[in-house]
Amino acid sequence: MPRPTHRPGLASPVWAAALIALLPPAPAQAQSDVTIEQVRDGLHVISGIGGNIAVRVTGEGVVLVDTGSPRRFEEVERLVASVTSEPIRYVINTHLHPDHTGGNPQVSDDVELAAHTATLDLMLRRGLPAPPRTVFTDERTFRTGDAEVRAIHLGAGHTGGDVVVYFPDLRVVHVGDLLHEVAPFIDYEHGGSSAAWVTTLDRLLDLDFDVVIAGHGPLMDRGDVVAFRDQMETVRTRIRDMIRGGALRRHVGARIVSEDLTWTHYRSGGFMARSLSGLYEELAAELRR
Ligand SMILES: [Zn+2]
């Protein structure tokens, strides 16, 4: 009987190293592709000006989640004005990154500009312009018109100051970059953590919602949250096993590539390009404990 020929499987480092060189870069969002789309009655999402921006129209003013990329807030205001004549009354930043806070300097002084206390600290530390004017630690509820908007810190993940903004009457939640259409960026420099990310998404799933506005990409649902959470747990387990098996940091990039892990399909995605080194350190530290 002929011996079966050896075919390298997905776990083979040789195969993976060859594959990683062929991985496509992450898809880039076209600059000109700016849209405002209705999610529910009284809730719209603006895409294409940095991170996704939620626009909650309440009858007595607009609550905005995030302000997009720097120097483009006139576009945001124009799109808001295309769906309501109400003024912007509250702005909530989901986290510090400039594609979510870049419009802050153009937010008028009479608007309450709120974020988590860690986001204020981090923006001050980085010298980012127009940090939040009011802060909270666990939760802040905004009541305006007939709407309730809850800004909640469920824990760290993408950064240390992550906030989700929950619209309970609409069963929609904006989660900032705790969800991303391509792959997560674990921003260790600013308090990010893969362990905390899993716990934070577990807490998110305790909320009653069926539509998710991710930081980037199309609308998502509970199943996307579960899949994202599970992929985070899987990459943690696999890299932890590699470290136990003696893998060095430089080995992990090739060995983690796998067909079932969508985050590893893009070499310039936030996971492959920006998170692996820190994740290795995080898991190695967990193993030393
Ligand atoms: Zn971000």
pLDDT category of residue 146 using cuts at 50, 70 and 90: confident
- Confidence band for 8, pLDDT divided at 50, 70 and 90: very low
CA of residue 177 to ligand 1 center, whole Å: 5
| pLDDT at residue 31, as a whole number | 52
User: What spacing in Å lies between the alpha carbon of 184 and ligand 1's midpoint?
Assistant: 9
pLDDT at 70 over 60: yes
Alpha carbon separation from 142 to 64, 125, 135, 165, 167 (Å, rounded): 11, 27, 13, 10, 10
Chain-wide mean pLDDT for the chain? 92
Please, which pLDDT band fits residue 86 given cuts at 50, 70 and 90?
very high
Share of the chain above pLDDT 90, in %: 89
**What Cα–Cα distance (Å) separates residue 206 from each residue in 5, 64, 169, 199?**
49, 24, 16, 11
pLDDT tens, residue by residue, 174-198: 999 999 999 999 999 999 999 999 9
32 CA → ligand 1 middle, Å? 21
Q: Which domains does the chain have, with CATH numbers?
A: 35-221 (3.60.15.10), 232-288 (no CATH)
Mean pLDDT of 27-48: 86
Ligand 1 centre distance from Cα of residue 121 (Å): 16
CA atoms within 13 A on the CB side of 16: 17
Using the predicted structure, report yes or no on whether residue 10 has a pLDDT greater than 70.
Answer: no
Distance, CA of 1 to CA of 3 (rounded, Å): 6
- In the prediction, which pLDDT does 115 show? 98
Distance between Cα 286 and ligand 1 center (Å):
25
- Give the SS3 label for residue 139: strand
Question: H or E element: which one contains 8?
Answer: none
Taking the centre of ligand 1 as the mean of its atom positions, its distance from the CA of residue 176, in whole angstroms, is: 7
Q: How far is the CA of 48 from the centre of ligand 1 (A)?
A: 15
Kindly indicate the confidence band of residue 4, based on its pLDDT and cuts at 50, 70 and 90. Answer: very low
What mean pLDDT comes out for the span 74-100?
98
Which two tokens mark 151?
Answer: 């800004």
- Of the pLDDT bands very low, low, confident and very high (cuts 50, 70, 90), residue 13 is very low
Distance in Å, CA 187 to ligand 1 centroid: 8
**What pTM did the predictor assign?**
0.91
What is the 129 CA–ligand 1 centroid distance (Å)? 16
pLDDT digits (tens, 9 = 90+) for 217-259: 999 999 999 999 999 999 999 999 999 999 999 999 999 999 9
- Residue 21: which pLDDT band, with cuts at 50, 70 and 90? low
